[in-house]
Amino acid sequence: MTVTDDSTEEHGHHLPAVEDWPKGFGEASWWPFITAIGGAGFYIGAALFILGRGAEPMVGPTIGPAVFIASVLVFLTGLYGWVYHAFVKHFWSRDTHEAGSNALRWGMISFLGSEIATFGAGFVYYFFIRTGTWPPTGAEIPDLVGSLVLVNTALLVASSITLHWAHIELRKNNRSRFIAGLGATLLLGAVFIGGQVLEYYEFIVHDNFTFTGGVFNSAFFGLTGLHGLHVTMGAVLIGIIFVRSLYGQYSPERHVSVSTVSMYWHFVDAVWIFLVVVLYVGAEMKF
C-alpha cells in the first residue's frame, strides 16, 4: 500500500501516523498488519471462550471475552489508521488525482474473496449437519421465518438501494442527495443491527433457543453472528464516509472509497439473502 506523506498537519488535522512509519520501512505501512492481528484475535477470543466453559475449563471464563474485546479495539484502531493514512490525508491535500484507485478496488475484490471463504466454512458446517438426521437429535428449532427476519431482510435490501442511489447522485455531482442517501443507508443498517439483537433476544429468552443448545444452534448463531459483525463493520465504514461527505471530501472524480465500501456493503447484503434462504428457510423444510 502506498502511504502518503503525513509529516505535516494540513487544515489543523492531526494524522495517526507520520511519513515512513515505522522508521526504516520506506513507504510501507503497518496499519493493515495491525488490522489483521485484531481480526485474528476474534477467533482466538472465541476459542478461549469455548475452552473456558464446561465442568473442567482449561482457562479462566473471563479470558476469552477479554481477548475478544481487546481484539475489537486493536482491529478498529488498525482500520482507522489504515483508512486515515491511505485516504483522508490525500483528500485534505486537495489532490485532483486518485492514485492507486484501481489497485484499491482490486484489493477490495481480493478481500471479498477471502470473505467468501470465511462464510463458506460456516455454510459447509451447516450443510454437513443438515444432510444428516433432521432435526438433530434433541434439538428444538423455533419458527425461524417470522415477520422480524422478513422486515430485517427488507431493510438490508433497501439499504443497498439507497447506497447505490447515493453513489449515482455523487457521480452527478448532486451533493445533497449523496449525503441523504448515505444517511438513509446508515440509518437502515443501524435498524437492521437492532433488529438482529431483538431477534436474538426473542430466540434466547422466549424460545430457549440458545448458543449452546446443539449443533444447529452453533451453526445458526455462528453464521448470523458473523454476518452481524460484518454489517456492523460496514456501518462503521459508511459512517466514516458520511462524516467525510459533510466536509465535502468527495466529487464525481474522487470517490474510490465510496466505490470500495459500496462493494463491501452489497456483498454483505447478498450474503444475508443467501443466509435467509439456506439457513432460515432451509432449516424448516422437510426433505
pLDDT exceeds cutoff 80 at 104: no
Contact 240, 83 (CB under 8 A): yes
Helix-helix angle 31-51:63-83, to 10 degrees: 160
Q: For residue 61, how many other CB atoms are within 10 A of its CB?
A: 13
Alpha carbon distance 132, 147 (integer Å)? 28
Residue 24, phi then psi, degrees to nearest 5: 95, 0
Res. 90 pLDDT band, cuts 50 70 90: low
For residue 227, give the H/E element and its range.
helix 215-246
Written as one letter, the residue type at 197 is V
Residue 254, phi then psi, degrees to nearest 5: -130, 95
- Percent helix, strand, coil in the chain, to 5, is 70, 0, 30
Q: What is the pLDDT of residue 92?
A: 55
Helix-helix angle 147-171:175-201, to 10 degrees: 160
Alpha carbon distance 99, 96 (integer Å)? 9
Res. 270 pLDDT band, cuts 50 70 90: very high
Q: What is the pLDDT of residue 228?
A: 93
- pLDDT (average), residues 222-229: 91
Contact 59, 51 (CB under 8 A): yes
pTM check: above 0.85:
no
Tell me which residue of 67, 59, 219 sits closest to 135, measured CA to CA. Answer: 219
